[in-house]
Structure 1
């Protein structure tokens, strides 16, 4: 697998962020996203013909819902964010905005649950093994990208990731700003090893859930409920110490967002606001389009 595929598998977030590098690209990326989602899911599950047809319909219906229901909400968010980008951003405000974004993720997953439950119950033993092998492959990619043997290489990889996102908004950061990012990343309690360990847990839990539901011959409602409980645990870890760790990671991440924004110049803040205006324009157009 080439480097581009490995990066895509390791971090869908970065793929999405980098897709939004120009207003025209936003519209192209969103209108093609259903194909990308299907491609990624098929790599994971290796659909048969019947599953392939059903999954394509489910993805199309999900994006119809998302375009009509969610994009208008995102545009309102971006309108507020433009004004906020021009002023100081406190850690409290950063956490409030992060909570909004998480809410979008929860809602998007919940909307997909019925189709996911149907897919899970249709998987053959060979497809479950295929998923397990796919997970192992992507985990190897993640280790290659972010869990190098040298701690400095790990910090450099994490800082590079954050700098790409920051410079998408603010433009090129100067040396002092880049050094600030590197210093803050090194001091964060959350690191790539934590992310990797969590991903292993949720991958294991997902595989166990599939096998348990199939062994029990679960009804659609039972499968949906089990998936919703699994996703709830992802967002709200039920046990310590992970619950407290997650809260600490979020709090320090919000402080970092605030401190980085404080380091930017008025020109960089205006660039961030303009980026958000461009995205708002694109999302308004997308929300009105018929796919």
Structure 2
């Protein structure tokens, strides 16, 4: 689902487990941070995070086919980013996870869920700021062949989105979304009951998510990304500004009505998360605390490493 320059930077959005804990439809705010968090939330958390610069490099290289000079610069930039992220962001995330452990045993309101969501979004935006300069430099070095390479990857991502969200009849689409939602929820709470699965189905059916509208925005962002890269190459002195402006258009879409649509997705997502959480048993909430504590411990160990 990578649709923009921000998406191009962030990589593993689909695996981001913090999104599975706090509902997110934040658009494409983009940064290596998302990949960092995704990796640090996997089974071999500490090993994966320590390998994050290399894994992110492989992902980036697959998107634009870096040459030797670009490869060296990208590796240096990735190492610098993850050093910054390890020292500055992981301790903050560990603190947030500790706060969430205190919240997990209690019922939640939609406002509480949204407050946590906004906090995560602010951290992602902070990390995105760190990516502007290195990717502005890379943008100036991309060749026409590399831009074509990027376009082909965009086309493949569109096919993936269509397969995931646009193919099949309404019941088949609903089932796919329900399976994903169930999997994410059970990573936090453990096995859901039949009643909770029914609740999830109800919540998904009532969601304002519109796959066609989302795909239109993806296409807009893809075109915006390519135009940003071309404009940066035409006016190198403005490259950083152009990248920041692209980020701003990703964060706040110029498409009529899309921002209101995203806000409604967030509002509904917070309410839906609160309803599901409030349906959980004491045992399921205790499982959530254990999961969150595991993430916190990983973040603290990783942040202490140099």
**CA shift at 1:195, angstroms?**
3.0
TM-score by length of 2: 0.86
CA RMSD in angstroms, aligned pairs only: 1.5
Corresponding residue of 2:277: 261
Q: 1:218 aligns with which of 211, 236, 240?
A: 236
Structure 1's consecutive aligned runs of 4 or more residues displaced over 6 angstroms after TM superposition are none
Check whether the contact 1:155–1:186 (CA below 8 A) recurs between aligned residues: yes
- Structure 2: unaligned runs, 5 residues or longer: 1-10, 18-37
Count of residues paired in the alignment:
275
User: Aligned partners of 2:69 and 2:155: how far apart in 1?
Assistant: 26
Instruction: Give the 5 Å matches for 1:78-89.
Output: 78-89=97-108
**CA shift at 1:145, angstroms?**
2.2
- Structure 1: unaligned runs, 5 residues or longer: 1-10
Q: 1:247 aligns with which of 259, 263, 266?
A: 263
Corresponding residue of 2:83: 64
**CA shift at 1:107, angstroms?**
1.1
User: Aligned partners of 2:16 and 2:257: how far apart in 1?
Assistant: 31
**CA shift at 1:239, angstroms?**
5.2
Corresponding residue of 1:288: 304
Q: 2:220 aligns with which of 180, 197, 201?
A: 201
Higher mean C-alpha displacement, 191-200 vs 129-138:
191-200
Alpha-carbon displacement from aligned partner over 1:171-229 (angstroms, at most 9, x marks no partner): 110111011111111110014333322221111100111112212x321xx21111112
Q: 2:152 aligns with which of 133, 142, 165?
A: 133
Higher mean C-alpha displacement, 185-194 vs 280-289:
185-194
Instruction: Give the 5 Å matches for 1:2-151.
Output: 12-17=12-17, 20-22=41-43, 25-151=44-170
User: Aligned partners of 1:236 and 1:258: how far apart in 2?
Assistant: 26
**CA shift at 1:21, angstroms?**
4.8
Q: 1:275 aligns with which of 271, 278, 291?
A: 291
**CA shift at 1:238, angstroms?**
4.5
Alpha-carbon displacement from aligned partner over 1:26-55 (angstroms, at most 9, x marks no partner): 112211221221111111111011101100
Which structure has the highest helix share of the two?
Answer: 1
**CA shift at 1:260, angstroms?**
0.7
Q: Which structure has the higher relative contact order (CA within 8 Å, separation 6+)?
A: 1
